[in-house]
Structure 1
């Protein structure tokens, strides 16, 4: 239900993705002014919903194109924003979209993730370049980089972006948070993750946690919200259903055993959630000024329930 107060402005970076598009959807439902930022603009709807046609609510979203690693390309879009959301990242240091579309196997992605040279296996707090010290005045996005598949490190011809956990999960979030703080946004929501699953490299979760810590410490005037969703599923992505079922079994086992396998199972021992539940929770967390810091699965469910009750009034 739309708010009776002045409309809030929200900017969702990665708003054309699986979760990001639904955050846009529920923000529109509240009557907010919604802008999505990504390299490609409007989503390919068949990739994020069960239909190839754009849903009715999508016509109320401003689908903008920009490069997350070049703040000059999106800073003007953040002017006057109340809330800014970072809903981007990678599960594997491979082309995730190629894995989802079946052009590359998940096994190939895992091989790439676990075969990184020692120089790229640095701790989450180390980096060749501090993204907040960059002075990028570019006004147009690079044709070879993407808000979903970009990096601060490229080859000499700027043709082959290096996709890493550090660049996508951490550095892109820090650049966006700095821009949001400069534009006086009141809240910044970072889509983090529940504890790492055993099939993913440790750096996946450590870079997420590093981003949380640095955003909280470096931008204290901005309310930082770090939602930690588990595995997300939806019938529009059929492959997520059996995966959610397997994750659910792990969560059930972890529950009945008193959580004795939590350290090993990680996110695989956490109950999966439907993507819409997390999207509702994210929007509610932004509006609820008492919500800040890490938001775990039980809190996500509570926030989604609160949002549902508001919608029923």
Structure 2
């Protein structure tokens, strides 16, 4: 199959990493479709300019609600690969504490609770006729939880992709959590990985586990990346003793473009499947760079 005949669907394609995956796919000659609620990106939010880059005309910026598979399932027809590149880093109650809108005690108690509900309906429910179940928040206040956004939207997308006979499914996970994040942030991602691998053996599943991402277009990520880089260096010198408790906070940060290039390279490599850790991400990105130099 030639690159020109390959179709890539990026769910969350207007996001920080998703938009760069679209760029990487388009530069490799893929037919790229981005799915997001807005359709067109807000370029000033994800790049250093409010003007659309030249490569963006090669991407179909389509609208699709990840809570409603029926709104995007038709875009999966004929896709070679589909990737889920969306989720939430902080839940609403935790954001409320950080932004001073909620009591620290009540907000943090909710944020760091051991369990929260995901979708009110089973995202893997196949007994719905020709359509798919719409995902509705299971929490009483309709909160968008890690369970719903990081896990259930990915499972619903995997189901729709399987029905569309997509051969390769990618999921942007994470190398680990962080001390400042609720543990459920990473456990819901691992649950998504396990369920996708178990329930959809017909698809080659690739789980990307990047560390903290940075880019010059997001100035606030630079000092955070520098701090994570120092922590990663110290952790390495100490034999990785802080890896289990530090998670992404002690992992070497990577530039978002590097991860995006690695994602597309992995989607093209039939032998890549399962978890892809940071070292493998760097290897794939370097391979993609060398390919581009030829």
Query: Does the TM-score normalized on the shorter chain lie above 0.5?
Result: yes
Q: Aligned equivalents of 1:95 and 1:236: distance in 2? A: 28
Q: Aligned equivalents of 2:101 and 2:218: distance in 1? A: 20
The CA deviation string for residues 46-76 of structure 1, in whole angstroms up to 9 with x for no partner, is 0000000000110111111111121111111
Question: Quick one: structure 1 residues 231 and 113, their matched pair in 2 at CA, closer, same or farther if it must change by over 3 Å?
Answer: farther
Question: Quick one: structure 1 residues 232 and 117, their matched pair in 2 at CA, closer, same or farther if it must change by over 3 Å?
Answer: closer
Question: Quick one: structure 1 residues 209 and 172, their matched pair in 2 at CA, closer, same or farther if it must change by over 3 Å?
Answer: same
Matching residue of 1:171: 152
What is the total number of aligned residue pairs between the two structures? 291
Q: Aligned equivalents of 1:152 and 1:107: distance in 2? A: 27
Q: Where does the alignment leave 5 or more consecutive residues of structure 1 unmatched?
A: 142-150
Q: Where does the alignment leave 5 or more consecutive residues of structure 2 unmatched?
A: none
1:153 aligns with 2:153: no
Question: Quick one: structure 1 residues 196 and 106, their matched pair in 2 at CA, closer, same or farther if it must change by over 3 Å?
Answer: farther
Could you tell me how far 1:253 is from its partner in structure 2? Answer: 0.8
Matching residue of 2:162: 181
The CA deviation string for residues 94-150 of structure 1, in whole angstroms up to 9 with x for no partner, is 299xx7xxx9946769958633189x63289x87542112749889x9xxxxxxxxx
Matching residue of 1:312: 293
Q: Aligned equivalents of 2:273 and 2:130: distance in 1? A: 32
Matching residue of 1:122: 115
RMSD: 2.9
Question: Quick one: structure 1 residues 64 and 110, their matched pair in 2 at CA, closer, same or farther if it must change by over 3 Å?
Answer: farther
TM-score (ref. length: structure 2): 0.90
Aligned with 1:193 (options 171, 174, 178): 174
1:21 aligns with 2:19: yes
TM-score (ref. length: structure 1): 0.85
Q: Aligned equivalents of 2:73 and 2:157: distance in 1? A: 9
Question: Quick one: structure 1 residues 113 and 184, their matched pair in 2 at CA, closer, same or farther if it must change by over 3 Å?
Answer: farther
Aligned with 2:211 (options 217, 227, 230): 230
Q: What is the SS of the residue equivalent to 1:115?
A: helix
Question: Quick one: structure 1 residues 208 and 280, their matched pair in 2 at CA, closer, same or farther if it must change by over 3 Å?
Answer: same
Deviates more, 1:65-74 or 1:233-242: 65-74
Could you tell me how far 1:81 is from its partner in structure 2? Answer: 0.3
Question: Quick one: structure 1 residues 178 and 113, their matched pair in 2 at CA, closer, same or farther if it must change by over 3 Å?
Answer: farther
Maintained 8 Å contact 2:120/2:138: no
Matching residue of 2:226: 245
The CA deviation string for residues 148-185 of structure 1, in whole angstroms up to 9 with x for no partner, is xxx621789xxx74210000000000000000011011
Matching residue of 1:148: none
Aligned with 2:125 (options 130, 133, 145): 133
Q: What is the SS of the residue equivalent to 2:222?
A: helix
Q: What is the SS of the residue equivalent to 1:63?
A: strand
Q: Aligned equivalents of 2:280 and 2:240: distance in 1? A: 18
Matching residue of 1:84: 82
Q: Aligned equivalents of 1:266 and 1:194: distance in 2? A: 7
Question: Quick one: structure 1 residues 213 and 113, their matched pair in 2 at CA, closer, same or farther if it must change by over 3 Å?
Answer: farther
